Amino acid sequence: MTSIPPPQFGTDGLRGRAGDAPMDPETLRRVGAALGVLLQRGGGAQKRVLVGDDGRESAPWILEALGQGLAAAEVAVGHVGLCTTPALAWLVAREKVDAGVMISASHNPAHDNGVKIFAADGSKLRDEDEAEIAALAVQLRPADVRPARSRDRSDLLTRYVEGYAAAFPDLDLTGRKVCVDAANGGGAELAPRILRAFGADVVERNCEPDGFNINDGCGALHPEALAAAVVEHGAELGICLDGDGDRGIFVDEKGGVRDGDDVLAFFGRRLHREGRLPGARVVATVMSNLGLHKTLREAGVGVHVTPVGDRNVWLAMRELGAAVGGEQSGHVLFADHGLIGDGLYTGMRLLAAIGREPASAAFAAFRRFPQQLVNVVVARKPALETVPVIAAKAAEVERTLGQDGRLLLRYSGTEPKCRVMIEAADPALCERLCRELADVVARELGA
């Protein structure tokens, strides 16, 4: 029996360079079979799994490998095709299937890919279930693999589009111009289609995926090009999605770029005024700007802080019964949208909420503290507090900042990077301290 290393699930499923472990055919066949075994333990009728992808060139053979493994466990596969992660999650929750698998590396470049697994209710798979899949994948034999069989279920995307009509029954975007950048990814067809269904005059950017151009200088990580297009075309809002559409970064009519903190500040204040913010609080991660806390506090709204990751936001919102939460990076979750991070849905909520008010005015209450973020590529990931030089420098930075700023030092959960983030009232101090600490991290751990 050929052995494989246990596939390591990160904060958002499996992810890596397509063709290399864990994103190689053998590992993925094992993962598919392991998922099938896990599903079959529930007994009953034949199990069904929906699969979608964000258009990367590697998606077809990844689907084939996963499908071979699922076939070994007698699990039926329906292929939705090109779609966003939130669209797949939404469909899984409503089509009474047993699980969903999204083939996507989100905001990563085209040479990467990943696998996100959803439970029957559309939520991300529990940590303990991912651990069991990883353990089973090591035990299963290649001889157990059968030919893949998948059924085309791209027709289901029409139901997702219809779901928007039900969610916004009074929204009419006739005569309103909206720019959308789908990062040449999963939302390239869905986003313009849904906006036009409401009558919007849509200006498309980066909505032509070719398998290799996803996230390439576009989308949520690079909103500057769409900002120029919004001003050029006189649009009232720009919507920037990442490759799989779960993030949304927005552009106001003046070309101002607005991230998840802007969105949380807007909806936190608005929902509180309307009496629709349970507990008078929103949920945000440690990455959110200090200005968000200040803006909401002045409006009588608190912030419940979680570790980084939309899964952590989801858990806290479910526990607290919160109406809205999210991340600065653009993941925003609404309770009345099934706690599914969906960049396009957030954009539609904004369009419905601001009406004919300029977007820049709607966002004006939020005042951001200067923030500096440096991502250092690392060769290894020891606990940062165990590296004396880094720990000493971090302590020095925190003493310098005092009560007027903060330091966040952590590893990425999906990439070989260490994130150094500093906020301070003085932008020059913020930039200097961030660079100094990033240099120390690079010397000690840099690839």
Residue with tokens 């030919």: 147
- Catalytic residue list: 106
Q: Using one digit for the tens of pLDDT, what is the confidence trace for 164-197?
A: 999 999 999 999 999 999 999 999 999 999 999 9
Q: Report which residue type is found at 405.
A: G
Nearest to 284 by CA among 255, 311, 263, 313: 313
pLDDT, tens only, 33-66: 999 999 998 788 899 999 999 999 999 999 999 9
Residue 92: which of 124, 56, 62, 135 has the closest Cα? 124
Size (the chain), residues: 447
Are residues 441 and 378 in contact, defined by beta-carbon separation less than 8 angstroms? yes
- Closest by CA to 311, choosing from 414, 428, 404, is 414
Q: In the structure, how many helices (H) and strands (E) does the chain have?
A: 14, 18
How high is the mean pLDDT of the chain? 94
User: Is the four-CA dihedral 352, 353, 359, 363 of positive or negative sign?
Assistant: negative
What is the share, in percent, of the chain residues with pLDDT greater than 90?
86
CA–CA separation, 434 and 407 (whole Å) = 9
Does residue 7 have a pLDDT over 80? yes
- Whole-angstrom distance, CA of residue 102 vs CA of residue 54: 8
pLDDT digits (tens, 9 = 90+) for 198-216: 999 999 999 999 999 999 9
pLDDT tens by residue, 392-441: 999 999 999 987 788 999 999 878 999 999 998 889 999 999 999 999 99
Q: Centre a 10 Å sphere on the Cβ of residue 380 and count the other Cβ atoms it contains.
A: 10
pLDDT digits (tens, 9 = 90+) for 243-273: 999 999 999 999 999 999 999 999 999 999 9
pLDDT at 24: 96
CB-CB contact of 332 with 324 (8 Å) = yes
State how far the Cα of 381 lies from the Cα of 446, in Å rounded to an integer: 10
- The residue type of 210 is D
59 and 140 in contact (C-beta within 8 Å)?
A: no
Q: 389-420: b or e for each residue (b if 16 or more CB lie within 10 Å)?
A: ebeebbeebeebbeeebbbebebbebbebbbb
Quote the tokens at residue 45: 């009728």
